[in-house]
Amino acid sequence: MGKSVKALTQPLDKSSGTHKHMCNHACVLGHIETTPKGETVGDPSLPSADRVLDCSGLSCPLPVVKTAQAIKQIEVGQVLELIATDPGVEPDMKAWSTRTGNELLGIGKQDGAFHVLIRRAK
């Protein structure tokens, strides 16, 4: 068996617009691309996340299961950011959001991790 990785949800630090990953590096929310110097830039068309769920290292179906649990912990209209390394997270989250009625706002990839923004609809 591989080592166990625990999913982590953290509230957003609204003052700085950042959250901490499990590896403790700061990340600007809503990012999709990186500048040539490696600095993260935000996509102004995407909303900021109200909560972050880090499922890095977890395989299917755990990112979907953890997302289903975490979405219930935020208010309708708030945004959850899922961070996952499993390449299956993209089709899984598209199917999950369609099935549940939650709004998939965007999926980006940076430094080997997928960043999925989901707005709670109900």
Active site residues: 60
Burial of 18 (0-12, 13-18, 19+ CB in 10 A): middle
Give the amino acid at 65.
V
Helix and strand counts by DSSP (H, E) for the chain: 2, 9
Two structure tokens written together for 101: 């009625």
Half-sphere exposure of 91 (CA within 13 A, CB side): 3
**What gap in Å lies between CA 42 and CA 31, rounded to an integer?**
4
At 113 the three-state DSSP class reads strand
